[in-house]
Amino acid sequence: MEYKTEEKSFDNYLINLRGFKMKEFELSTKYKGAKTGVERISVQRELADLSVEVKNLKNSLMMESRNYDVFRSSPELKVEIFERENPEPSMPERCRHSDTVVRLRSFEDGSKQLVSQCTGCGIQTRSHRKNSVPDWTKVEVFNEVFPQPHEDEHARWTAARYKVITDAMHEGSEIPDFDDAGFRAGYELKNPRPPFATQCEHAEFVHTKRIYPSGASAVVAQCKSCGHHIKTISKKDLKDAESLSAFDEGQKNRFNAIASNWHEAFSVAWKKAHSEYVSKTQSQIWNGEIKYQDNTRFGTYYVSEEWFRTRLRILDRDNGECQACMGVAQCVHHIVYERLGCENDLDLIALCNQCHDKVHKIQRGYPWQFRLTPSEIRGLQTEEKWNDA
């Protein structure tokens, strides 16, 4: 079969995409090996730039999906019905906080602070000194449950839509859920969760002398447990103010580090337990112990009427011949899966089973997303570089 101009453009696209995917793999490997935050941020920026290049490449291809024999999975159809019957509510415009009022806000550690609260969205916009008002104790309390009707409406719509998807995906399956609550309770029973400084009750404190960068000093009550600066004490109320121990500036960080280490260890343990759950569930599915039905587009497309007609059309286009060895075609191979269910015909090529297996063996030999081009597939039996596959 003669090459078409479109096929040559598709070849060039896949080769360029291959280069980007190889670079993406190299950057991901570099990110995992980064030892400092600066190095990781640098790699993240490179990955972000690369993502833009990939997007621009895909937009330049100009390969449209077909508009006939279009397949939609059951979850997709149910979402379409939901969205048609329940139009997405609009999100409110971003608040500019043009109107604010001063409020007194209380925090978990018992401290209180004067702040400005936006009357439009309820967010805290800035802080104020307590001596900026005549009597800060009489200032109206900060509204912690500020009504967000538009956002609440959109959140409810999003949650309802997500439930439609999950229910449709699980239909016909009997897969048990991961016992997240049970794992957390068991882990915390063996490893009690330490609090962060913001959760400490500050049951005991000690008077200390705190010296600020400006050189000014103050007597403060410092929590014995978390090191939090609870309140300032008038020096006139203490006889030995100048002989007090220095405020421990590092105590709060050490206290928080214990909680951070606990959460990090918990995360590692949770991931391990969840991985074991996934492996066990997959094993039970493969052994037929658990009923499982794949309702994804990929899992249902290949038994659909749309795929049956598409497959016949491609086999007919390629004269029933394997485009690699020119033997009898036995299957239709996806060169790319980007338009699965509504492929452009150039996404597909007829192959025999042996050549099809060879294509996938070659592609699996690369650690990044590697797809053979149409011309490479046609040269599968003649190009020496593929002989070892």
Characterize the bridge pairing of strands 112-118 and 124-128: antiparallel
Domain coordinates of the chain in residue numbers? Answer: 1-71+296-389, 100-147, 197-252
The tens digit of pLDDT for each residue in 299-325 reads 999 999 999 999 999 999 999 999 999
Mean of pLDDT values over 360-388? 86
The tens digit of pLDDT for each residue in 100-116 reads 999 998 876 567 889 99
Characterize the bridge pairing of strands 331-334 and 348-351: antiparallel
| More confident position, 236 or 205 | 205
pLDDT exceeds 60 at position 61: yes
| More confident position, 149 or 219 | 219
Average pLDDT, the chain: 90
Most confident of 58-67, 236-245, 357-366: 357-366
Q: How many secondary structure helices (H) and strands (E) does the chain include?
A: 10, 8
**Cα 256 from Cα 387, distance rounded (Å):** 59
DSSP E strands, 27-123: 100-106, 112-118
Residue 1: band (very low, low, confident or very high) from pLDDT cuts 50, 70, 90: very low
Mean of pLDDT values over 203-223? 89
**Cα 343 from Cα 332, distance rounded (Å):** 12
Look at residue 294 in the predicted model and tell me its pLDDT: 94
Task: Name the nearest CA neighbour of 73 among 230, 294, 242.
Answer: 294
**Cα 181 from Cα 179, distance rounded (Å):** 6
pLDDT exceeds 70 at position 5: no
Look at residue 110 in the predicted model and tell me its pLDDT: 67
Look at residue 160 in the predicted model and tell me its pLDDT: 96
166-189: burial string, b at 16+ Cβ within 10 Å, e else:
eebbeeeeeeeeeeeeebeeebee
In this structure, what are the phi and psi dihedrals at residue 238, rounded to the nearest 5 degrees?
-125, 135
CB 310 within 8 A of CB 335: no
Q: Please tell me the pTM assigned to this model.
A: 0.68
Look at residue 109 in the predicted model and tell me its pLDDT: 58
Which amino acid, one-letter code, is at 50? L
Q: Alpha-carbon Rg of the chain, whole angstroms?
A: 32
CB 316 within 8 A of CB 329: no
SS3 content of the chain, % helix, strand, coil (to 5): 50, 15, 40
Residue 148: band (very low, low, confident or very high) from pLDDT cuts 50, 70, 90: low
**Structural tokens at position 89:** 């509510």
Helix axes 74-85, 149-170, angle to 10 degrees: 150
The tens digit of pLDDT for each residue in 258-304 reads 999 999 999 999 999 999 999 999 999 999 999 999 999 999 999 99
Look at residue 2 in the predicted model and tell me its pLDDT: 43
- What are the distances in angstroms from CA 199 to CA 38, 194, 259? 31, 9, 11
Strand, coil or helix: 34: coil
Strand, coil or helix: 332: strand
Q: Which of 3-7, 174-178, 219-223 has the lowest mean pLDDT?
A: 3-7
